[in-house]
Amino acid sequence: MDLLEHYLGAVAALLPKAQRQDIVAELRDLLLNRFEEKEAALGRPLDKKEREAVLVGFGHPLAVAGRYGPQRVLIGAELYPFYIFAVKAALAIAAIAAAVPLAILAVTGKTDLTRLLPQLVGDFVPTALMLIGAATLIGGAIERGWIKLGDRHPWRVADLPKLPLGRKSYLERRFEALFELIFMVLFILWWTRLVDAPFSVTGDIDGLTLAPAAVWASLYWPILVLAAFQATAGLVGVVKPSWVRLRAVFEIAGGLAGLVVAALLYQAGRLVVVSPDAAPDAARFQMTLDATFQIVLVVAVAVNVGTILVQAWRLFRGGRGRA
């Protein structure tokens, strides 16, 4: 990757999406003009080290992105991107600190799953507010010179993470993959009956009994394998977000398996059985449930097809890039 594109990719990852393309285009023109002015002064093309010196002199990507952000009173424009990064890190730390103990209690069965969400919110909110408040106080003190940072450490463009323009950052990929991993692990624990969910397919509504249809028992292992595929894809995204092609393979396999499961469920027609049949509203309620699940399955098929196409494009694009 060219040094200029490498630098612009790092800046673009910190810019607002709505203005990203215009700002990057403006920065590219400005930096190309600086390269040309330097070359005209030297009378020759710039080498790699000289091009990097121009980019370093222009400013660190965090500082450059801060110049285009909205003005803040408490946190200045150049410090603001660092502050936002600290806030996101604080939210991640607070979420992990709140979720991990509750997940352990849920797996070991030492807490009521119906109380998990209130407990999670109750633990997350005060911790997040405390960490964000600390980051704000430190940022304000740095902005006003109360905390001296001293001389800035030297940096090189080559040391910046490689973030091609228009792609998600590794942090965004990790958050998405972590959410997918946690959700699928909880689903697997519920599906294998290792933990009880705060809801159940079986229940009683106004004298009508709801029970899962027989098709679910026949698809027990296919659904478990599908969930394991999705969990593996999420794990790959968390551990190695740069392994886009490997995760794409898992996502495509999971998408194909999802299409098969959705087709079998669609053919079954009835996913939840309402009884007794002789109840006054049983037939109408059963018809409503059947139609609702049919629509849900159609949407699931569309989502899986979209996933397969997107991941196939990633594989194709990755292959062209390597070639």
- 56 occurs within a structural domain: yes
- 74 occurs within a structural domain: no
Same domain as 62, residue 19: yes
The residue out of 94, 127, 157 marking a domain boundary is: 157
Positive or negative CA dihedral for 292, 293, 298, 302? positive
- 72 occurs within a structural domain: no
pLDDT digits (tens, 9 = 90+) for 122-165: 788 888 889 888 888 888 888 777 777 655 556 677 777 666 55
- 185 occurs within a structural domain: yes
Same domain as 187, residue 53: no
- 73 occurs within a structural domain: no
Model pTM score: 0.47
| Domain range enclosing 39 | 3-67
Scan for tokens 């960490």, then name that residue. Answer: 131
| Cis preceding-peptide flag for 164 (omega within 30 of 0) | no
d(CA 224, CA 254): 11
Same domain as 265, residue 138: no
pLDDT digits (tens, 9 = 90+) for 221-263: 889 988 888 888 888 888 887 777 887 888 888 888 888 888 8
* Residues 129, 135 contacting (CB under 8 angstroms): no
- 162 occurs within a structural domain: no
The residue out of 41, 67, 93 marking a domain boundary is: 67
* pLDDT(78) > 50: yes
- Where residue 321 falls among pLDDT bands split at 50, 70, 90? very low
- 166 occurs within a structural domain: no
Same domain as 294, residue 178: yes
- 280 occurs within a structural domain: yes
* Residues 45, 32 contacting (CB under 8 angstroms): no
Tell me how many domains the chain contains: 3
Same domain as 98, residue 241: no
